[in-house]
Amino acid sequence: MSDTSLSSLAAQLAARQVSSRELAQTYLDRIAALNPAINAFITVDAEKTLAEAAAADALRAAGQAGPLTGVPVAHKDIFCTDGWLTTCGSKMLHNFVAPYDAHVIRRFKAAGMPSLGKTNMDEFAMGSSNETSYFGAVKNPWNPACVPGGSSGGAAACVAARMAPAATGTDTGGSIRQPAALCGITGLKPTYGLVSRYGMIAFASSLDQAGPMAPSAEDCALLLNVMTGFDPSDSTSLDREKEDYTRDLNLPLAGLRVGLPREFFAEGLNNEVAAAVDAAVAELKKLGATTVGISLANSKLAIPVYYVLAPAEASSNLSRFDGVRYGYRAPEYANLDDMYCKTRAQGFGAEVKRRILIGAYVLSHGYYDAYYLQAQKIRRLIADDFNAAFKVCDVILGPTAPGTAFRLGEKSGDPVEMYLNDLYTIPANLAGLPGMSLPCGFDSKGLPIGLQLVGNYFSEAKMLNVAHQYQRATDWHMRLPPLGEAPGARG
C-alpha cells in the first residue's frame, strides 16, 4: 500500500511525481467505487474538484505552492461552500447552494487544497450515529451494519475508507472525536475560539468548534496549521499569534504527566475499551510518561448540562430557518404563520425538532433559572474541575466513547441511550478545552477503539506530540478496513 499521509502526498506533489489533478482523480475514482456502499458523501462534483486541482497545479508551476498545495480534502456539509450544495444533512437545506465560503473553506482554498466533496452528517450536527441525516445513514467502513458515529460520521468514514486523505469536522459535544474513535482515525477538536465559525452552520454557538480528521496526529497537526487563525468575522475568534502545530511532534515524552480521571474508568465503560485504554497508558509509560489519578467529579453532570445548553442555543440558532430567504418552503399553507409552522414541521427531522422543543422550553418564562441558569453554573463547576486537574498533570487521558461502533438502528429509538455515547467527550466542550481521539486497538468484533486526550487551553501542540509519539510506537492508526487497497499516489 502506498503512503497516503499528508506529508508523503505533499512530498510527492513537490517532487512532481504526481499532479494534484491526478491525485484528485485517484480519490474521485475511489469515492465512485466505495461511496454507494458507505454513503459518506452527500455531494461529489468531479468537475469542480478537478478544476480546483488544476488551479493547485498552476500555483505549483508558478512557484507559489505552499506546504500542502494540491492535497485534496473532504469537507463536512456544515461548511458553506460557494457554489456547492450545503445541506447540513437536512431537508431544510436540501436545495441550498451557498453563496459564500466559510472561513475554514477560504483557508483551505488559500492553501491550494482542492475539495473532494461534502460529507454526510447528522442533521444540523445533532446526533451520535449519523442516522439523523436526511440523506441516509453513513455505514461504518469496518462493518457496514454498524454506525460510523456522529455527527461528523461521513468525514470519519471517508477518511477510514481512504476516500479522502483527510477531512474537516465540527465538534459540539464530541462530533469529531466520537466518530474518529468509531472509525479508527485521529480527530482533534481545538480550544474554543481557535478556528473561526464564520460560515459554519451554527448548532450551539458557545460549544461549536471545527477541527481536522485524518489517519494520524501528524496529519492533524498539518491541517490545524491551515485551519486556525484570527477571523474578525467571528466575534469569538481569538486574536492570537499563529502557531506551528507540528513544532513539538518529535519531542520525547519523558516527564509527561498523564492524568487519569477516575470518573472516566467507572461503571458503563465496555471492558474491551477499558483494556485497550489501559494498554495505551502502559505504552505511554514505556515512552517515559508518568500517571496521576485525578477527579473530574462534576463531569457526571455534563450530559444533563449539555442537554439544556445545546438545545437552548440551537432553538435560537435554528429559528432562522423559516422558508423565506433560502432552503425549504412548505408547498401549501394558509398564511404567513402557517407557512413558518409547516415549513419547520416538514423541513426538520425528529431529533432536530426534539432539541428545538427542549430549548424553547428551558428558555421559556418561569423555567429559565431552574434550567438554563443552573446549567451555566454547573458548566463552571465542570470547567473548574479541569483547571484543578491541570495543576497536577499535562494531559488528561481516557476512553473517547464508552463502547465501539453499535449497530444501525440499535439506539435510534431511544434518545437518552444515544445521548450517553457522548459521556466522555462533552466535558471538554463545556470547558472549551481541546480534545482529541486516536486509535488504540480493536475489540473482539474487529471494531476500532478510540483513546481520548484532553489538554489545557491552547495545548494542541503538546497533545499532538503525545499522540504522534504514541503513533510512532504503535500501528493502530495504520490499520485499514477490509475494503481494498488505498489509492496509490499514481492511481
Partner 1 sequence: MSLTPDDVKRIARLARIETSDAEAQATQVQLNSIFGLIAAMQAVDTRDIAPMAHAQEVTQRLRDDVVTETDRHAAFQTIAPAVENGLYLVPKVIE
Residues in region 281-300 near partner 1 by CB under 8 A: 298, 300
- Give least dist CB 132 to partner 1, A: 14
- Give least dist CB 52 to partner 1, A: 20
Using the minimum distance from each CB to partner 1, give the nearer residue, 61 or 100.
100
Using the minimum distance from each CB to partner 1, give the nearer residue, 434 or 487.
434
Options 34-42, 114-122, 143-151, 307-315: segment touching partner 1 (CB under 8 A): 307-315
- Give least dist CB 47 to partner 1, A: 20
Amino acid identity at 47 = E
Cell output for 302: 455534563
Residue 301 sits in the site that holds partner 1 (CB under 8 A): yes
Residue 84 sits in the site that holds partner 1 (CB under 8 A): no
Helices (H), 300-425: 302-317, 336-347, 350-362, 374-389, 415-419
Using the minimum distance from each CB to partner 1, give the nearer residue, 72 or 349.
349
Residue 275 sits in the site that holds partner 1 (CB under 8 A): no
According to DSSP, residue 200 is labeled B
Options 103-111, 132-140, 217-225, 369-377: segment touching partner 1 (CB under 8 A): 369-377
Terminal CA-to-CA distance of the chain, rounded, Å?
Answer: 12
151 among known catalytic residues: yes
Options 27-35, 121-129, 268-276, 367-375: segment touching partner 1 (CB under 8 A): 367-375
Give me the catalytic one of 90, 115, 133, 175: 175
Binder of partner 1 out of 94, 342, 472, 479 (CB under 8 A):
342
Residues in CB range of 60: below 8 A, 6 or more apart: 13, 14, 20, 69, 70, 112
Residues in CB range of 62: below 8 A, 6 or more apart: none
Q: List the strands of the sheet with 395-399, edge to edge.
A: 41-43, 115-119, 73-76, 167-171, 209-214, 186-189, 435-442, 448-455, 395-399, 257-261, 290-294
- Give least dist CB 370 to partner 1, A: 7
Options 154-162, 266-274, 318-326, 387-395: segment touching partner 1 (CB under 8 A): 318-326
**How far is it, in rounded angstroms, from Cα 339 to Cα 221?**
46
| Greatest pairwise CA separation for the chain in angstroms | 70
**How far is it, in rounded angstroms, from Cα 302 to Cα 428?**
9
Task: Report which of 346, 463, 335 is spatially closest to residue 393, judged by C-alpha positions.
Answer: 463
Side-chain half-sphere CA neighbours of 257 within 13 A: 12
- Give least dist CB 230 to partner 1, A: 10
The answer to whether 279 and 440 have CB atoms below 8 angstroms apart is yes
Question: Hey, which residues between 230 and 259 contact partner 1 (CB under 8 A)?
Answer: 232, 235-236, 238
Binder of partner 1 out of 108, 134, 135, 371 (CB under 8 A):
371
Task: Report which of 430, 312, 317, 419 is spatially closest to residue 372, judged by C-alpha positions.
Answer: 312
Options 16-24, 144-152, 351-359, 386-394: segment touching partner 1 (CB under 8 A): 351-359
Question: Hey, which residues between 181 and 220 contact partner 1 (CB under 8 A)?
Answer: 192-193, 206-207
Give me the catalytic one of 151, 299, 315, 437: 151
What SS3 state is found at 337?
Answer: helix
Using the minimum distance from each CB to partner 1, give the nearer residue, 333 or 442.
333
Q: How many residues does the chain have?
A: 491
Residues in CB range of 373: below 8 A, 6 or more apart: none
* Burial class of residue 85 in the structure, from the number of CB atoms within 10 Å of its CB (0-12 exposed, 13-18 middle, 19+ buried): middle
- Give least dist CB 175 to partner 1, A: 16
175 among known catalytic residues: yes
Options 57-65, 340-348, 439-447, 473-481: segment touching partner 1 (CB under 8 A): 340-348
Residue 458 sits in the site that holds partner 1 (CB under 8 A): no
Question: Hey, which residues between 395 and 454 contact partner 1 (CB under 8 A)?
Answer: 414-416, 419, 429-432
Binder of partner 1 out of 47, 241, 332, 337 (CB under 8 A):
337
242 among known catalytic residues: no
Buried b (16+ CB within 10 A) or exposed e, 182-203: bbbbbbbbbbbbbbbbbbbbbb
**How far is it, in rounded angstroms, from Cα 302 to Cα 173?**
10
- Give least dist CB 480 to partner 1, A: 36
- Give least dist CB 246 to partner 1, A: 25
Task: Report which of 132, 24, 5, 117 is spatially closest to residue 70, judged by C-alpha positions.
Answer: 24
Cell 450515529 found at: 129
**How far is it, in rounded angstroms, from Cα 275 to Cα 294?**
19
Using the minimum distance from each CB to partner 1, give the nearer residue, 46 or 303.
303
Residue 326 sits in the site that holds partner 1 (CB under 8 A): yes
Give me the catalytic one of 5, 19, 20, 76: 76
Instruction: Tell me how many residues contact partner 1 (CB under 8 A).
Output: 73
- Give least dist CB 379 to partner 1, A: 4
Using the minimum distance from each CB to partner 1, give the nearer residue, 248 or 322.
322
Binder of partner 1 out of 48, 94, 353, 479 (CB under 8 A):
353
Options 5-13, 26-34, 44-52, 346-354: segment touching partner 1 (CB under 8 A): 346-354
Residue 59 sits in the site that holds partner 1 (CB under 8 A): no
Q: Which residues are catalytic?
A: 76, 151, 175
